[in-house]
């Protein structure tokens, strides 16, 4: 029997066999608060019976503090799949428990079986990139756009969705991104759901393509995703806060962030929708345990844009699950893309935390719902201001 994390999105360290059917491994922490994600592969070979995997916290990482502290060894659910391309399913609750300070996971195996077991259902960069590249073959109004490479030479690849028969100058621009933190896969599922909805044959999607140019970047941190890094890219940098002073003089702090900023400088967005993800429900809040982070309307120089950001904030808080976690829209951080874009172009924005434990399908639908809610609210506000 073998146990490893040496595959795309895999994460874990210090693997050691503790018995014929038992393995021990340690969580690999990017930083405090990002010390919970794991994804491992269990190969049964000739073994049969109940395999046991001990998942231990990283002893070198100090525990998270404060109200948002997350216990890495008490997940509410785990995921598994048989084989490298099988369907993901939830692990029955009776097969995992916290004992003696570590998480113990049990998996029935038969000879020759291979099981992937993880905290969340992954969205590997290779799958996301393939989807963006293949979608144009099915949808003529979609095209893949590569706008650079990561430090490890993976493509920064987005899908552009719009009606080519309507001039771009007559449309608004909306930028959708996810995966700044590589293993926040639920955000990538949400962005993919929004992309697929926009590319669909639905009359609503057709009408939106006539009014907007949509750029959807399903993974903004391909290297971190591939390596199973929860927070950082391959250079050990956090993409979220990499845009400090980008609106004035400084180059963003990572290769990926700089490429995104250059792309947006040439395609200044009216709206940015940034999907992140919570891996597990937090101890404060209630279902669906999602959250929103939005710019301070005072950041805008145009009073009308400030009013529109207020509308966007209220739409997300009252009409989506984003208010279920914090009971209020949380302020966006200084140095984020949302802050820099507001300062540079008066771009509206929202960072939406999708709940991974809702599952991939619900995450897809969350992306569609959030996008539709924002656009509908902003268009109604615009019509009102114009007296229509």
The domains of the chain are located at 2-118, 125-385
Return d(Cα 158, Cα 268) in angstroms, integer.
Answer: 15
Q: What's the pLDDT at 67?
A: 39
Return d(Cα 270, Cα 286) in angstroms, integer.
Answer: 32
Three-state SS letters, 87-128: CCEECCHHHEEEECCEEEEEEEECCCCEEEEECCCCCCHHHH
Return d(Cα 191, Cα 214) in angstroms, integer.
Answer: 11
Give the β-pairing of 49-56 and 22-26: parallel
Q: What's the pLDDT at 68?
A: 42
Q: What's the pLDDT at 388?
A: 66
Return d(Cα 242, Cα 162) in angstroms, integer.
Answer: 29
Q: What's the pLDDT at 63?
A: 60
> Residue 70 carries which DSSP code?
-
pTM of the model: 0.96
Q: What's the pLDDT at 69?
A: 44
Q: What's the pLDDT at 283?
A: 79
CATH code reported for the domain at 2-118: 2.60.40.3120
Sign of the Cα pseudo-torsion (362, 367, 370, 371, in order): negative
Q: What's the pLDDT at 71?
A: 63
Residues of the chain with pLDDT under 70: 62-73, 388
> Residue 219 carries which DSSP code?
-
Q: How distant, in Å, are the alpha carbons of 230, 258, 355, 356 from that of 184?
A: 7, 21, 9, 8
The fold adopted by the segment(s) 125-385 is Aminopeptidase (3.40.630)
Return d(Cα 34, Cα 43) in angstroms, integer.
Answer: 27
Q: What's the pLDDT at 62?
A: 67
């Amino acid at each position: 029997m073998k146990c490893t994390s040496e595959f795309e999105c895999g994460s874990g360290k210090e693997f050691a066999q503790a018995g014929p059917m038992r393995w021990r491994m340690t969580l690999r922490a990017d930083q405090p608060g990002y010390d919970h994600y794991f994804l491992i592969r269990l190969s049964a070979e000739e073994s049969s019976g109940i395999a046991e995997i001990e998942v231990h916290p990283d002893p070198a990482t100090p525990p998270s503090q404060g109200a948002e502290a997350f216990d890495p060894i008490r997940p509410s659910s785990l995921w598994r799949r048989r084989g490298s391309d099988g369907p993901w399913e939830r692990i029955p609750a009776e097969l995992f428990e916290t004992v003696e300070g570590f998480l113990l996971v049990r998996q029935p195996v038969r000879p020759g079986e291979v099981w992937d077991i993880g905290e969340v259902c992954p969205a590997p960069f290779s799958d996301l990139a393939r989807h963006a590249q293949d979608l144009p073959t099915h949808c003529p109004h979609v095209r893949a756009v590569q706008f650079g490479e990561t430090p490890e030479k993976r493509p920064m690849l987005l899908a552009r969705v719009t009606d080519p028969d309507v001039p771009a100058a007559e449309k608004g621009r909306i930028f959708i991104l996810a995966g700044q933190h590589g293993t926040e896969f639920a955000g990538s599922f949400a962005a993919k759901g929004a992309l697929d909805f926009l590319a669909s044959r639905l009359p609503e999607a057709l009408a939106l393509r006539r009014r907007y140019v949509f750029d959807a970047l399903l993974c903004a941190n391909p290297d971190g995703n591939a390596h199973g890094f929860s927070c950082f890219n391959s250079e050990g940098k956090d993409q979220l806060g990499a845009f400090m002073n980008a609106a004035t003089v400084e180059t963003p702090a990572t290769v990926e962030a700089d490429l995104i900023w250059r792309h947006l400088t040439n395609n200044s967005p009216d709206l940015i929708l940034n999907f992140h993800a919570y891996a597990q429900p937090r101890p404060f809040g209630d279902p669906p345990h999602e959250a929103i982070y939005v710019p301070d309307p005072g950041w805008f120089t145009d009073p009308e844009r400030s009013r529109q950001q207020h509308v966007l904030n209220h739409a997300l808080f009252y009409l989506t699950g984003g208010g279920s976690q914090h009971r209020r829209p949380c302020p966006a951080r200084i140095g984020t893309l949302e802050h820099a874009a507001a300062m540079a172009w008066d771009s509206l924005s929202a960072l939406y935390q999708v709940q991974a434990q809702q599952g991939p399908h619900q995450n897809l639908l969350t992306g569609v719902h959030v996008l539709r809610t924002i656009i509908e609210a902003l268009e109604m506000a615009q019509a009102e201001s114009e007296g229509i």
